[in-house]
Amino acid sequence: MFANEIGFTIRNHAPLNVKKWKEVKPEDRTSLIKRITTKYDIDMSLPWVKRYVNKSFGTVFANFRYKLKKHFEQFSTKEEALENKHKDVKTEEEWAFLCTYFSSEDFQIVSEKNYINRSHLKYHHKAGSKSFMSHQEQIAAQSGEMLGAIERFEMEYKSIKKGWDLGAKELWDQMVKMRTETTLPDGTQTMNDDEICAKVLGVKSGYIKGCGFGPRPPPSSTSRSSLDEMSEKNKELEDKLEETQDTIKAQQEKIDAQNVLIQELQEQGKKFEQFMATFMNQQASS
């Protein structure tokens, strides 16, 4: 119901004369949020609530714009599209803005990039149109417990009828293997499931790829074991550095001693030359 209310609010009250959600003015966003908070008892001071609402607004806005773009593309010319405003667009001015933007070179470039990015998607979930969080709540209601991140990934990317998406299966195998490798004989995990998912799937814009809105990457991109390993490596490097510095110091002392010897030899050579010059002069005068 809450998700549907967000969709209704965006479709009926969000300004459409902007290129993307980020360009919606702060006062307009505040007005949209106020429409939600007057109907639902939510605390926008809580960071995860605020994050969900803002993310949901942006996603619904983008989906709505995509729907309007598909309507625009039904017509062969911009002029023809202008005469056939989508029923969900409230004003002619907003529809004119959208038609101009959809037919612009800038939009075509962005659209092409998005198409290419979607073609690079290596695996596809099996959860349908339902959000990952709703899917996870349904699984929890059926099983009586919330699944770990790795098990949730399996439920969302493995179909009962069709089996695994091949790209997802490979990643799931990696996660299971990593969990085995990071589990001590006493059952202690040096990396939890969220850390493993973040490591294998990667992190983008503050969320774990392929896991929907819910799971967040660990506060640090490195696990406790990784930090210990890094600390040990740093100590080894410091020891090697100290050893190298001692070697350099010893070599420098040898060089300094050699320089002193060379200087003494040079001074002795000069004295010998002076002696020979004096001796030759005495021989010549006698």
Q: Which residues of 81-101 are buried (b: 16+ CB within 10 A; e: fewer)?
A: bbeebbeebeeeebbbbbbeb
CA distance 217 to 204: 9
Q: Which residues of 220-241 are buried (b: 16+ CB within 10 A; e: fewer)?
A: eeebeebeeeeeeeeeeeeeee
- Please give the DSSP secondary-structure letter assigned to residue 21: G
Residue with tokens 């959208």: 98
State the pLDDT at residue 159.
75
Could you tell me what percent of the chain has a pLDDT over 90? 28
The number of beta carbons lying within 10 Å of the beta carbon of residue 160 is 7
Pick the closest to residue 65 from 139, 15, 118 (CA basis).
Answer: 15
Q: Is the pLDDT of residue 129 over 70?
A: no
> What are the angstrom distances between the C-alpha of 101 and each of 64, 78, 118, 204?
15, 10, 21, 28
> Average of pLDDT values for 224-240?
67
Contact 168, 134 (CB under 8 A): no
Q: Each residue of 261-275: pLDDT tens digit?
A: 888 888 888 888 888
> Average of pLDDT values for 16-32?
92
State the pLDDT at residue 201.
79
Contact 188, 230 (CB under 8 A): no
Q: Is the pLDDT of residue 58 over 70?
A: yes
The number of beta carbons lying within 10 Å of the beta carbon of residue 133 is 14
Q: Which two tokens stand for residue 156?
A: 């969302």
Task: Indicate the range of 11-15, 24-28, 111-115 predicted with least confidence.
Answer: 111-115
State the pLDDT at residue 133.
64
Q: Where are the alpha helices (DSSP H) in the chain?
A: 2-13, 26-37, 47-72, 78-82, 92-102, 105-119, 132-143, 149-157, 166-181, 193-201, 224-285
State the pLDDT at residue 222.
47
Residues shown for the chain: 286
Give CB contacts under 8 A, 24+ apart, made by 266-273. none
State the pLDDT at residue 225.
54
Q: Which two tokens stand for residue 50?
A: 């605020």
pTM of the model: 0.52
HEC readout, 85-148: CCCCCCCHHHHHHHHHHHCCHHHHHHHHHHHHHHHCCCCCCCCCCCCHHHHHHHHHHHHCCCCC
